[in-house]
């Protein structure tokens, strides 16, 4: 049995704020300042600008830059509905094809997460889906998850994978999420999607583990013709071995 106090062992397993102590009726100064710093980082993540320059070079393939109907970051935060629809100029840039998958990289509520993790996750997916017909990657400014439905439909893709910055938490300002939707089209419900969350090594899911899970679910979705509640992540979602 270790001599390390229980609270220290718990802190080593979690980023939650445990046993912070007290100074009179308030938190100790150290704990209060740490909370204020994490809160500031979360706020900064939401309002920070999205800079997609360099994504095409990092991915090594064609990238199409698009935007939602939100005019700026302030309107995007106040009007979630505008972030779910393409503006007219962006819709005109998308050419329909015969694709298995469309990958959309969107800033979401944490551009910092996209800057840090999106290219690495996408590259890991390309390796695992080498035999798939993948549409040109779209990079969306001021985009919500549902923006991928319209993009996927416009590109003629059977599936869409949206890599997006997730809502920042006090210990996770740079978490990336992946949302998978079969037969994307405007009007799809959240229940029709699968989500892989907290992609942010080393504190969250690693790129390889995230890509393994995404690729497995995409393969199962293509086989079964469903995502969301129609596709569970477990033994039933594992592709059967050939032979």
Residue 151 lies in a domain: yes
Domain count, the chain: 1
Distance between CA atoms of residues 163 and 105, nearest Å: 5
pLDDT tens string 7-25: 677 767 766 776 777 787 8
Q: Could you tell me how many residues make up the chain? A: 243
What is the token pair recorded at 7?
A: 């609270």
Q: Can you give the pLDDT at residue 241?
A: 35
Residue 32 lies in a domain: no
Residue 191 lies in a domain: yes
Residue 125 lies in a domain: yes
Neighbouring CB atoms inside 10 A of 209's CB total 14
Distance between CA atoms of residues 242 and 193, nearest Å: 27
- Average pLDDT along the chain, 243 residues, taken 10 residues at a time: 66 70 79 70 74 86 93 94 96 96 96 94 97 97 97 98 88 90 96 95 94 97 94 54 33
Residue 35 lies in a domain: no
Residue 118 lies in a domain: yes
Distance between CA atoms of residues 31 and 138, nearest Å: 42
Structural domain harbouring 139:
55-237
CATH code at 194? 3.40.50.11240
Residue 97 lies in a domain: yes
Q: Is the pTM of this model over 0.75?
A: yes
Percentage helix, strand, coil for the chain under 3-state DSSP, each rounded to 5:
40, 20, 35
> Please, are residues 54 and 128 in contact by the beta-carbon 8 Å criterion?
no
pLDDT tens string 132-149: 999 999 999 999 999 999
Residue 185 lies in a domain: yes
Q: Which of 221, 214, 90 is nearest to 161 (CA)?
A: 214
């Amino acid at each position: 049995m270790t001599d390390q106090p229980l609270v220290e062992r718990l802190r080593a397993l979690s980023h939650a704020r445990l046993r912070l102590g007290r100074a009179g009726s308030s938190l100790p100064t150290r704990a209060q300042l740490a909370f204020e710093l994490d809160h500031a980082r979360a706020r900064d993540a939401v309002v920070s600008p999205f800079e997609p320059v360099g994504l095409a070079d990092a991915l090594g393939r064609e990238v199409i830059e698009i935007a939602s109907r939100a005019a700026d970051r302030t309107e995007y935060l106040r009007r979630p509905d505008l972030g779910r629809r393409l503006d007219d100029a962006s819709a005109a840039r998308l050419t329909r094809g015969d694709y298995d998958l469309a990958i959309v990289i969107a800033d979401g509520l944490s551009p910092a997460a996209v800057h840090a993790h999106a290219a690495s996750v996408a590259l890991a997916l390309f390796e695992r889906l080498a035999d798939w017909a993948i549409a040109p990657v779209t990079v969306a400014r001021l985009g919500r998850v549902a923006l991928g439905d319209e993009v996927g439909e416009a590109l003629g893709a059977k599936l869409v994978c949206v890599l997006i910055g997730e809502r920042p938490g006090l210990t996770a300002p740079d978490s990336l999420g992946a949302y998978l939707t079969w037969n994307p089209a405007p009007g799809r419900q959240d229940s029709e999607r699968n989500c892989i969350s907290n992609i942010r090594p080393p504190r969250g899911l690693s790129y390889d583990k995230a890509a393994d899970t995404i690729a497995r679910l995409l393969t199962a979705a293509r086989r079964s013709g469903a995502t969301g509640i129609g596709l569970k992540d477990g033994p039933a979602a594992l592709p059967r071995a050939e032979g």
